[in-house]
Chain A
Amino acid sequence: MLLWLAGCSNNPHVAPWKTARPDGEPWITSYRGFSDDPRTLDPQVAYDELSHRVLSLTYDNFLTYDPFKKESTLIPGLAAELPVREDLPDGKVSYLCKLKPGIYFHDDVCFPDGKGRELTSEDFHYVFKRIADPKVQCPIASTLAEFLDGIGERYEAAQKTGTFDYDAPVGAITVVDRYTFRINLRKPYPQIKYWLAFAFTSPVAREAVEYYDGKVHDGKTRDLFRFHPVGTGPFKIAQWERGRLIRLIKNERYTAMKFPEGGWEPEEEARLRPYAGAALPIIDEIQLLPTREIIPLWTLFKQGYVEGIGVSKDTFNAVLGPDRELVPLYRERGVVLNKEVEMSTWYMMFNMQDKVLGPNRKLRQAMSVVFDAEAMNDIFRNGIALTTQQLLPPGIFGFDPNLVNPYRQTNVEKARQLMVEAGYPGGIDPKTGKPLELVMDTVADSGLSRQMAEFEKGQYEQLGIKVRIEENMFATMLKKQETGDFQFVSAGWNADYPDAENYFFLLYGPNQPPQGYNQARYTNPEFDKLFEKMATMENTPERYAIIQEMNRILIEDCVIAPLITDVSYILFQPWAKPVAKNTIISKFGGARYSILDTALREQKRGEWNHRSLWPAMVAGAALVGFVAWGLRKKGGVRG
């Protein structure tokens, strides 16, 4: 037993795919925790973060984001250049798109001789056909159908007939030549560029979709396409054992992108300059360990067996001091703390169709002024989130860092004055002579959500009103938000893409449930008009000014009370300092730029995993002693 223990390693990883590269250089493997298996690796279907993390490595997009810019800036991915907008005389718009030549799909048995063929414009045509096919169930089909030619028509026709003809063209795309195509829009929609940087439009090979049908061929069951990605990305999946391991290995034929020639911060010059213009990816393999529980993952990080980990509320106090910086233990280890501002905003949302809150702007303003978002941040976010005064988070064009929302400067006295103006002095409803009673709906799915609801209730009751918390099952809450059967709720939004349109459409009048997301049921013709103009504009000073005007209207109408933008704290080992600074790229596809110091990793793992066998010896001796002691005083078998 002791001998076995002595020879047993606590390394949780399986052996790398290879030990050396073809040129004899060492094979570099990165090990990462992953909170679960991806649900699907069909890019036209996946709409969850985990799936997109893997998709962003196995599939490339036409466009991507500059890895070194905090504010998301589009750059060519598979594209030879950024799409060129063409305004047509009939008011329609098209984008001329040019592909880089010489990009190949991963080698796979679905292709003749197993060699991936070259990517062409027809592959993008095929992608938009898939989006229009109801059986594919692309979640953004209806959104794109609103703006792109032919998507809606083909979708409805296929729903009626039950079949989709993939040999017939779809109006959204015109193939110009092998490397050039046009995207045809019904009306101006600059946001199409962001969708071209999203996995929904990643090119897939028709051969792969048709080959991986999940059926039995020649006595063997083929995978479903959704579990067998064949893309053009920097990595390909070599092994996927559900719940155990996802092994990604380098795509040796990857040429679509190179390591940037510059653009990084000056202090990174010495580290990144040697890689300028280098072929991507830098590392050869990534092993993703689906780890649903935080305790084992945290142990693996401390032992040096995973490269990075997010700081959760359970580990916060062990890692960070009162100044929100690393405690000495981790600083001395060389651990790097990365703070990433999320594209999210959390707010209180008032139902504008509610009989009490809807017509009473002063009441909503009072409820906004009284709320202490700083206290909320300290109690529920460990003080690391950003309190905010506007709907847009930082990093999005239109965010105004100097904006002052007069109704988000916490001031209880001012709030009470507003209550007087609202017709509820001291919170008393003059009709009943009793405190005004409001209902706040919440989803009671955890102790934390209950604590949060109690906190929010306490904030409003400073006004003298009475707030009743209505706890709902997820299903009930969903229904209430769809039907408008609520007074006010806590809500939030994570953007699909970094554009103001993807936030302000939450309050656009015609965008009401069940088809749309305007759950506040806000309708303001002036706001709607500005939205319609802003949504179709490129990022110009004029657009910025319109966004500020929309902010002004929202602030005055107080439909929502913006509270918090989340910030993720992520720890990286000293040998795996992050390269990408852009929040989107660091989450999605940033591993193509990853650089690892494997010598330092081996050294640190050795230092952090010393083992002593004496506790096992002591335990064994104690057990033997106990048995012997009992036998010495034995009773015996009596009949």
Chain B
Amino acid sequence: MGSYILRRLLHAIPILFGVMVITFILFYGIQSPRVMAKRILGDKAKEEAVQNWLHQRGYDKPVFINLKGGNPFDSQFFRHVGALATFNLGTSDATGEPVIERFKQGALPSLSVTLPAFFMGIVIAVCAALYFVHVRDTAADLAGTIGSVVLMSLPIMVWVICGHALFAVWLRYVPAFGFSLAPGDAVRFLALPVCLLVFAGLGSDVRLYRAIFLEESRGEYVRTARAKGLSNQAVLLRHVLKNGMISIITLTVAALPALIMGTLVIEDFFGIPGLGSLALDAIRSSDFSVIRATTYVGSVLYLIGLILTDICYALVDPRIKLR
């Protein structure tokens, strides 16, 4: 397994290099550092101020290769690649704050939403999927299918606006905005964002898990268990659930590392100062340093998630060997 993981890590290098190149090219394709300077300093910034800003951040260096003499790698592109490769995330172009500090500040608020939503989502989707397997081919199953398709069909923003209107505006059960992790405050601030995040992902999860459980329920061991006289509930809970969870765990573990990156829409809407909100803010303010850092860290976490998935498969399924 060790050599497999090492190989996967080596495979990750060209992927991450690709991310660096694409981020850089996209950024330069959309706007030059000069425009970024104007956006950040304001339209009224004088030419000297713009030039000074560019110089202080190294944005006045050659773009790809330094052909003006001296070190050919003394260019914006190689500085960008070098910084990311060494996880030197630099300072925010807009505020001058170290990006790593913003990451440290934003990680906990993001996790306070995504982690509970992740686990609640699994528990609720598994329970619902088991229920629909149990009542399959009935009107309740059909209603569940329709409900799941509706949940899958609408984008998360619709659920956020509707959920906010219902629970915060009309019923006034929870605050319409804000965030606090203080004891006694955290639940009321997090309840709605977490529930909406669970709700938005529920449709696809229920359909997927239902399919997994149905597949399991067709296994030989289920027939044997029933032949031995076990009740439907007992078969579902003791055998189908246990075996189905192997697939579910391996599928969901891929998402775990990326949870730290938070959610763009929900964090922004409810004022949760997490990394999703940070990323959106960076896009709005043309803060290239933060955009490239969030993109790169997100890619690294995603790759880690994929490697973890493979490892989990090998660990829980004896038929799979990583070589």
Residues of chain A touching chain B, judged by Cβ–Cβ distance below 8 Å, are 4-5, 8-14, 36-37, 39-40, 47-48, 134-135, 137-139, 141-143, 214, 221, 224, 226-227, 241-244, 289-293, 295-297, 299-300, 302-303, 305, 473-475, 478, 496, 514-515, 517, 609-612, 615-616, 626-627, 629-631, 633-639
Contacts and interface: CB of A to CB of B under 8 A. Distances in A.
Given A39-B94, A137-B56, A496 B44 contact: yes
A224 B45 CA distance: 23
Query: Can you list the 7 inter-chain pairs with the closest CB atoms, starting with the nearest?
Result: A630-B140, A639-B223, A243-B273, A12-B178, A12-B175, A296-B177, A299-B176
Interface stretch (B78-86, B163-171, B199-207): B163-171
A47 B44 contact: yes
B195 to A, nearest CB: 12
A137 to B, nearest CB: 6
Contacts of B174: 8, 10
A39 B95 contact: yes
B235 interface: yes
Contacts of B141: 630, 635
Nearest to A302: B169
Contacts of A478: 34-35, 38
Nearest to A612: B171
Interface in B42-83: 42, 44-49, 52-53, 56
B271 A291 contact: yes
A633 B56 contact: no
Given A12-B178, A637-B133, 13 more contacts: A10-B175, A14-B180, A39-B95, A137-B52, A242-B273, A243-B281, A244-B273, A299-B177, A616-B173, A630-B135, A635-B137, A637-B235, A639-B217
A139 B44 contact: yes
Interface string B233-271: 001100010000000000000000000000000001111
Majority-rule SS of B interface residues? helix
Which of A515, A627, A630 has most B Cβ within 10 Å?
Answer: A630
A466 B204 CA distance: 53
A232 to B, nearest CB: 24
Interface stretch (B12-20, B96-104, B308-316): B96-104
B188 interface: yes
Contact of B271 (A11, A214, A243, A609): A243
Interface string B172-202: 1111111110100101110100000000000
Contact of B135 (A10, A40, A143, A633): A633
A4 B106 CA distance: 28
A3 to B, nearest CB: 13
Given A8-B174, A14-B185, A47-B44, A227 B97 contact: yes
B176 A303 contact: yes
Contacts of B178: 12-13, 244, 289
A296 B176 contact: yes
B131 interface: yes
B294 interface: no
B138 A635 contact: yes
A249 B175 CA distance: 24
A213 B30 CA distance: 34
Nearest to B274: A243
A637 B222 contact: yes
B218 interface: yes
Contacts of A9: 175, 188
